[in-house]
Amino acid sequence: MTAGKTPTGYLFTDIDGSTERWERWPLQMKAAVARHDALVEDLIRRHGGELKNWTGDGVFAAFEAGDPIRCALEIQLALQDEDWSEVGGLFVRIGVHADTPEQGNGEQQISINRAARIMASAWGGQIVVSEGALQAFARPPECRLTDQGFCHLKGVDEPLRLYGLVHHSLARTEFPPLQSLAFCAGTLSDQATPFFGRERETAHITGLLKAPQTRLVVLVGPGGNGKTRLAVHVAASYAQHCPAWFVPLENAANGGDILAAIARALRFPFYGRSAQADQILDYLRDKEALLILDNADAVVHDSALILRLFENCPKLRILVTSREPLHITCALHCQVTGFATPDPEDVRTSTAYQFFCHQSGGDAHGIEDDELEAFRELCVTLDGSPLALLLAAQWRGLLSLKEILAKVRAGLDFLGATAPDLPERHRSIRSVFNATWTLLSSDQQRDLAMLSIFSGGFTLHAAEAVTRLDLQILSALKDMGLVEQREHDRFIMHPLIHEYAREKLSAMSDAHETGRRHSEYYLSLAETEFASIALVGERLVLDRIEWEIANLKAAWRHAIREGARKRLSQAAEALFYALVMRARYSDASEFFSAKTGARRLDKYFTSLLATCQVQHGALDAAEAAALATLADEDQSLTSRAHAHHALALVSHAHGDFDGAKRNYGLALDIRRRRSDWIGCYYSASSLALLHVLLGELEQARERIKESYRLSELIGNTSGMMYVYLLAGDLAAREGRAEDAKANYYKSLDIEESIQNPQYRARILISLGSLLAKHGDPRGAQRCHSEAVDLAAEVGDRLRRGNALLEWAIDLRIEGKSEQARARLLQATPVALTLNARPLLMRCLLELARVEMLCRNESQARRLATALAGVDLGPLQDAYRAFLDDLPGPPPIANDQLTPEAAARELVDHAELESLRL
């Protein structure tokens, strides 16, 4: 901005998705837009702006005085407070820019254009402001900024520094990347080696990708035939027209892994907790780009996301490499073979020759005339496989081509005799591995075989500790392409090389000892990493353990096979808590469902497994496991503490609050005696929750304080998150709404830093209930619908049932009785299946309220009768209040109409209604 001159602010607004709304609700939109226009015009005037123009369903205003940023915030807050349900909601995007342009020379129009582009980059409900606007006008102190970086906007030559303006009262505070950015970046990097031949294939594939009817092309062929290199080469030429994104899928196992890999390649920041696949699809929907999905072998049978990308992103081209065809009818498959076998008279001009000479050192290792035929025969033997030729070329400086050919052929004969079921091309690759193996030094052979003990990669420290690796040998193996270095200082092997090396390891005399060291290293790692949480930080420690989950599982299986019971017992606590703190109950179940053959250790594992079973809704199995552990008098105190805690969780879910309190207390007493501070935290915080629920508020306060001190002591960030949640519950119970809200938001802030979806669901349930109680049913619905999705994501059926119930209450408060009933009929079967009586009682009482709202008094009375005479615990006062509103005499208990019978009757009726008889 020009120094000394007063800046002018420019504000643009636009109703997001207005065209669709006009099409669907023309009369309602006419009234809604009139109301919108009056509201926006009034706020612009009140904040010192001048409305310059109506822009379709938005405005353009200039602020030579006043404050456009404060005006933008007030517009969003005011619109949010209005009811726009008649047009399916109304969301406005706002852009603010400021400059001190010279009048009359076109600069003012440039600033106006930029403000319009900034608005166009925003999403519905979002405010985007430029750095110039923030320099000219103060940021509202109650707001925070989200830095969008330097952004290239369409039609704007220079990048602009943009920020999102966020206020805690706005319904949406997280958004996708700005949507109208110029899409000019990509992730193709320059290749370190030249590309040889493949002119015909390159032209053919490029032509297919450019054709409108073939936007999904799959390069199919065996490993080592150069599919990845060809795809990158094609993409490099295609990238002259649009960006190309390289997405490695070598570690992908399902559609979720594909999604995560695409997000990493795009550097796409997922926002909020809406479906991540939908976020990616929305981002790419109108983008013209090329996605290279490389090494999709493991996901050919789970390619639904690829199909969705094809169907929903009409400008997107997708190039896939895989050893197997994709099971998608719209995909066009191209077979990638090895280099063509050279003609006898044109060997030196062939692609295979040029590639081989380059890989073996160029002209210094050119092929003499008397070896040309040997080279041609080598190409025939290896079927032109680039990988096989590359590996063979590594030894060109030591051996003649005739010697290399002889060793490869010896390997082929061997594999042909012992593995006739292998495809011919794979036998050729294996023959190269055989030849390569024989030419490695004995130390190199040993270290390569030893490295195959790792699953999912390894660090340098792990390799040194487990295999006693020579670093120079690792460097040599890396130079030969037998080992690759990846992110997080991790090394991996190509799966084929890993398989081959593992076979070699199994035949070595020290294979067993290597397995023992691997198991010892990783089980010790789980202990030491977990013990360092207070010093290093929870997120980093849990990340490290997650990176090694494949190695940990292999180490665990080895320890069980070898009867290393002491080692298993020592590692179990750290591993259990590390997995629980990330809500990885499925992984924990896999570890602790294994049988060791030692009765006492197996019962200990069973006590750990019981907690996982509770979280997955298998309450009966969890109760049986916990009781079996407690019935064994020979069990350790640690096992008994876990069993008591699991049994308390089951009792809590069933509504047996006295039993839950007793067992939480017993677990806490044992854990205090053993100085098991993290166990103490879990028991104390569970008791705090129970005290809040039962209205024992002073006892709850003391338990919350105890949980806070324990979390501080052990550096338990997720514990702090839960403590703030409990403090919010306590404040809400005492009627301190603002304190409750502050605690819930603090808990959500902590969750953002550690990413625990199960806890986030729990926080959102409480926050949503608070918002509903204090007049914000829509905010409550957003919280509860997200909680439903999160609980389903982690397999927490009980939490999903509770979130559905709270969502139904929100809908009832808004008078949406049919929608409320639908949610309750989703929650009720959950309560029945899990035998979760507190949830069931609340569902039936809420259904009775809904029936009263629908003036169906007979059904409301029937539900009230099912609850009569039942010990409703903390729900008793709410039930009495409902009876006060129920016409007629109080219902009398009926032994035939139990809560469970009434619930089954409702569920059965709902299922029959779906038949539309």
Cα 97–Cα 101–Cα 105 angle in degrees, nearest 5: 130
Token couple for 184? 């000019």
For 8-167, CATH gives: 3.30.70.1230
**Which pLDDT band holds residue 234 (cuts at 50, 70, 90)?**
confident
CA distance 678 to 681: 5
Token couple for 403? 């010697």
CA distance 521 to 466: 7
Q: 599 vs 198, 557, 562, 768, CA distance in Å?
A: 63, 17, 16, 46
**What pLDDT score was predicted for residue 809?**
92
CA distance 520 to 531: 17
| pLDDT tens readout for residues 388-447 | 788 788 777 777 888 888 877 765 332 232 334 333 433 446 655 676 677 678 999 999
| pLDDT tens readout for residues 541-561 | 888 888 898 999 999 999 999
Residue 6 has pLDDT above 90, yes or no: no
> What mean pLDDT comes out for the span 75-104?
86
Nearest to 164 by CA among 234, 248, 69: 69
Where is average pLDDT lowest: 30-44, 111-125, 408-422, 761-775?
Answer: 408-422
Range 370-380 burial, b when 16+ CB lie within 10 A, else e: ebbebbbbbbe
Which percentage of the chain shows pLDDT scores above 90?
35
Domain ranges in the chain? Answer: 8-167, 199-335, 344-439, 599-674, 676-755, 829-917
Which positions ≥6 away from 878 have C-beta within 8 Å? 845
Report H helices in 424-459. Answer: 424-439, 442-451
> What mean pLDDT comes out for the span 107-127?
88
The residues pairing with 320 across neighbouring beta strands, listed in sequence order, are 218, 293
Nearest to 187 by CA among 276, 285, 292, 284: 292
DSSP 390-424: HHHHTTTTTS-HHHHHHHHHHHHHHHHHH-TTS-H
CA distance 574 to 577: 5
| pLDDT tens readout for residues 678-730 | 999 999 999 999 999 899 999 999 999 999 999 998 888 889 999 999 999 99
Which residue do the tokens 């590309």 mark? 195
* 684 close to 713: Cβ distance less than 8 angstroms: no
Nearest to 718 by CA among 529, 531, 539, 527: 539
For 199-335, CATH gives: 3.40.50.300
Which percentage of the chain shows pLDDT scores above 70?
90
* 61 close to 94: Cβ distance less than 8 angstroms: no
* 296 close to 333: Cβ distance less than 8 angstroms: no
Token couple for 402? 């005739």
Domain 599-674, what fold?
Answer: 1.25.40
Same fold, 599-674 and 676-755: yes
**What pLDDT score was predicted for residue 426?**
38
**What pLDDT score was predicted for residue 92?**
95
| pLDDT tens readout for residues 877-913 | 889 999 988 888 888 888 888 989 988 988 888 776 6
**What pLDDT score was predicted for residue 180?**
55
> What mean pLDDT comes out for the span 497-511?
87
Q: What's the one-letter identity of residue 584?
A: R
Domain 676-755, what fold?
Answer: 1.25.40
What's the chain's average pLDDT? 84
SS3 of 64-125: the string is: CCCCHHHHHHHHHHHHHHCCCHHHCCCCEEEEEEEECCCCCCCHHHHHHHHHHHHHHHCCCC
Report H helices in 452-537. Answer: 460-467, 471-479, 495-506, 511-531, 533-536
